[in-house]
Structure 1
Amino acid sequence: MDHMIFEVGTALILVAIASLLASKLKFSIIPFLIVLGMLVGPHAPTIGILDFTFIESQEIIEFMGRIGVLFLLFYLGLEFSVPKLIKSGRNIVFGGTIYVILNFSLGLAYGFFLQYPIYETLIIAGMLSVSSTAIVAKVLVDLKRTGNSETELILGMILFDDIFLAVFLSVMSGLLLGGATSVGGMVLSVAISIGYMLLFFVIARKGTKILNKILNIASNEIFIIVVFSALFFVAGFSETLHVAEAIGALLFGLALSETDHSKRIEKLVVPFRDFFGAVFFFSFGLGIDPLSLGNAIWPALGAVILTILGNVISGMIAGRKAGLSHKASTNIGLTIMARGEFTIIVANLGIAAGLMPILKPFSAMYVLILAILGPLFAKESKYIYKGFDKIFKWSKPQEKVKNQA
């Protein structure tokens, strides 16, 4: 136990050093932490008393990472207004549908182009269709875009994407693993997931007075115990209904966003969000062996190019349909581009079913590249938009002069 605690402490020191380096370079800490995780882990050396393999502490580091995802999504949920989300329902459904269909179709076409079998092709199409809620949440928070006009649509599209993921995993699990293959069973599973999400929207709209009374606690100590206990319970219960625990945390945050205590909760949760969120990205990198990536480089690069294309186009279509500016629409595609935990989940389903071995290094390389490019593109979206504007002439001449001034 003592050695395990020392291992965790060593890991946290490495995370702190990587975070300081990223801060000095004024860059997102996400790619730094993922690459750091790749450089250590099971394949790393042991130097004296410093064990960089983190084998003994792997489970606790992964658990801390899962907590980080919960806090990231919980905080993101607190930042949004449920009435505005419901008002934007049609735009969310339209944008989410365009996003999923375009990316899934590109994935199917790419799988057939690579001459992969049908199941491998479906898995690749699924991988290309699901963005990383954790990385997207971190990017929105880091870039202080939670109040932007396009962010509510981004949040809605993430929720829609999760519904697609639930459907996809239900269907593919039945096909690959021989589970519940009946159409009725799959429809029931999806209906429960959607109903569970709608329940939190109803609670946010109708249960605000009750929540205000429950949370009317003077002591910060007791207040945070009550809120965090409820957060972990809701996240855990969500998984029993086949709704991702991270989405359960997001929905719980949405439910509390309309209460009088939302700002107080935000203030208290920020340190936990930042600390455990950093551990998540480090733990994600720990699961990637850089020596296994060689054969998957070129297929992964092709998938990355298609994903960039699909995200920019679908983000532009969704944003413009919702009445947003070209700049805000560009931000949508660039922000939801990152791939991460859900893509790995889809790939692991194929791996568990004994499909082609290349799926593991392919998914690792694909996720790593987009986990780096996604936050970078979002950070530099202003300059990317200007480049598009020069090509497509979106801005009027007087607007350009005003922006330059």
Structure 2
Amino acid sequence: MTGSHISTLRAGTKHALSAHRDPDVRRWLAAYAFSMLGDSVYYLALSWAAVQAGSPAQAGLVMSVSALPRAVLMLGGGVIADRLGPRRVVIGSDAVRCAAVLAVAALLFLTSPGLWPLALLALVFGTVDAVFMPAVGALPARIAEKSQLARVQGMRGLAIRFASVVGAPLGGLGVAVGGAPAAFALAGLLIAVSVPLLMSVRMRDLPADDRTPAGGGDPAAPHHGTTPWSDLKAGLRYVRRHRVLGPLMLAIALGDLGFVGPLNVGLTLLADRRGWGASGMGWVLAGFGVGAGAASLLLTVRGRLPRAGLVTGYAVIVGSVAMGALAYVPALGAAVGTAVLVGLLTGLSGAMCGALLQTQADPAYLGRVTSVSSLVSLGLAPLSMPLAAAAIGTWGLGPVYVVSATVCGLGGVVALAVPGLRRAELPG
């Protein structure tokens, strides 16, 4: 039997498999879960070690160091993911993060060097994240069929929820057993597990039209002979001119800008002024997590929702109304119920946006497309947090929540108003 025949049989088998039965998808999902679990433990260890080694202001500075390289380099990271191939970039990123965390764990175990290694580690993480995140976004389309990408987004969402729920207690256990060095070592080992799992994942070939011409390189890389700068400009031009991706990026930007402030800064102040305390805020956050997890589970089970663009628009608008109402709910139980609804609708709209991005984008551009959405969500949206805090101090919680909900809801209006996005469907 020829090698090409074997490849054809494998392609046919993969095409027939649902995502949750596909061994490559399962290995990728396990790798992603371990990587995210390591991230959760790492952030807890970093915050603990920074507080122990310096003042609260210094600790806050260390925790924010990674934001700058992540925002500045994110678009370039998308170019790297497309040029080198997402699987290779994700493996390299996890290997670098693992080595950096274990090195700091050893340094903290042997000496007391102060804050500088923690700041350096945060800088390395932020730099690596700038290439890791676009590559992670581009990888599912190279593993699963388009008809399975919505289900993959649901499975990915469940992995993120699992990591957020389990990671904090694991990190706390590591700190309790052996301090920050033990927690960092645990984070490094968890990230290390992802590397061999990713190495065992087989990539799907791209359609012939998406491959590079003669000259070698990864099949998903941009055309041979181009420069990284021209690749970046081509990617931005591709997003801007695309009938679905362009308005989708605007909808994502508006949704994130309106959502981040009330969820982070606003919720803390809301719990304080309502007298719910830290435990009450924890219950509200848990409600949000339950709702978002339910949305991920829905997509995992269903695999596809019809009229994806329309569902996304309505989910954003109704979720925005629920978020705005949160500021006016007096009782903790009602606030938790509202948070469940917010989590369900925003989790659903977020997963649908991710699935539309995955299925609408040419695979050869997915790293760059993902880098644009990641820059909006992780680079620009956090800037709204200090603005939200200042606005709440001036005008109060209610007006700021209403304005934020309006901004968020405009993302849904864009999804409904632009015909290309409103009529967008996920492949069946």
- The answer to whether the superposition gives a TM-score over 0.5 is no
Greater per-residue helix proportion: 2
TM-score (norm 1): 0.31
TM-score by length of 2: 0.29
